[in-house]
Structure 1
Amino acid sequence: MRLASSPVRSLVGAAIGTLLALSSMSARADFQSDITVKLIAPGGVQGDPTPIGVSQVVTTANLATGIVSPLFGGSGDVSNYLADNEHVFFSGDSIRVRSYSGTDAFTTGYVGLGGEHARYEFDDLSIAGKTITGFTVYAFDNFLTSGYSGLASPLASDLVNLIDPHTVSLDLDNILFNDRGTGSSFAHADFRIDLITQDSGGNGGGNSAPEPATLALLAIAALGARAARRHA
């Protein structure tokens, strides 16, 4: 199909530009509410079997900063357990955790019990207009998607669980860190959990309203059909 009319071409070009802009805007969503971070270790830590069950809220104003160790000014029930340089924060629609070895055996030192893992739980996860359906997880330094990993075993995907559409967990007791050649106290791994979402239903019938990018596509189709009729 050839569009001979320059006004039509201009309209189509504008619609395509709108589509690209809207697609870029919708490519990344942010958390829209406070997030509760829980640290659970039913078997305590190595050398102290006292169960751990603490939680701390990361407010929307502090999502990018998150929970950091006392070395960096953090304070709170979860922060008090973090080693120097450890932190938990949230970026866009991803959860990011830096965890350090807490023992000479290159493990975190947190202990599970009775088939229940020691773990972080990230609760009250909420992204506007979206339902969390899954995740992709990486364990590369500096939260990248490739490169060097401080995780020796198991696979990063084996450590993460989607408990429900608002809760994700990261197991801690079965992490084995790589030896970086500088001793166990420097062994660490970065975990990046990118959440997978789908549009939430918005009209009670299971179908959501069209997204802006979809509307832009419909506009392009309508303009093309109109031009075709005029120049047939």
Structure 2
Amino acid sequence: MTEEPLTAGKNAVEVVRVGDTVRRARDAGAAFAALVLTHLESVGYPHAPRYLGIDEHGRDILSFIQGTTTDHPTQRAHGAYAGGGRMLRELHEVTAGHFLAADKECVIHGDPGPFNTIFQQGLPVAFIDWSSCRPGARLEDLGYMAWTWCIQSQGRVPITEQARHLRELRDGYGFIEPEQLLDAMVRRQTCVADIEAVNVNDPKLTPARRRHAEAAFAWATADRELIHRHRTLLLSALKQSG
């Protein structure tokens, strides 16, 4: 069958569509992701692709989910932020206490940005690219999602609109102390910035990967500065009822 390259997600080396399936090159996280996706299917979690095995080329086979990713609020419909928050909360709930969570709170997606979320008619329906899933803390996942979905130093999104989106996402997930959420967001930004600052000058990486590192460092640090600059406004929005 014809293979159609896919651009959704941001970490995969090779992702192609073959009919109603996606074929994805296996990486270090593939085996654990397969276990997680199998568990999610067994409990009826609807917001993830189904794991269908390994093809003759050694690639994971996943069910194809129709839709697109997004990179700007204008591409998302009313209710998208609350819906995304609910999707993440449900993932955490159905993996809490499971052996896959080991000694952590739950299994986290690890990279639940809008670039790893499939939208249909502007509403989120599924998370893709599960290669970063692992045992972890809920706030680690939620902090990253809140940052990448709601905070944009680029794109000319008014800060009041960003604050409203942040509150909607938090309300969709469930109550988290405002200070805890903002601190979790900044921790994830700092983590990305620290990692990519090292990668920028790593001679073992390709020039393309080092350019990506430079862009990622600039993205994380600019968005972190935006949170610091508007922390009072963001806290005020989070303290309002939904």
TM-score (norm 2): 0.27
Which structure has more strand as a fraction of its residues? 1
Which structure has more helix as a fraction of its residues? 2
Tell me which of the two structures has the higher relative contact order, counting C-alpha pairs closer than 8 angstroms and 6 or more residues apart: 1
Structure number with greater Rg is: 1
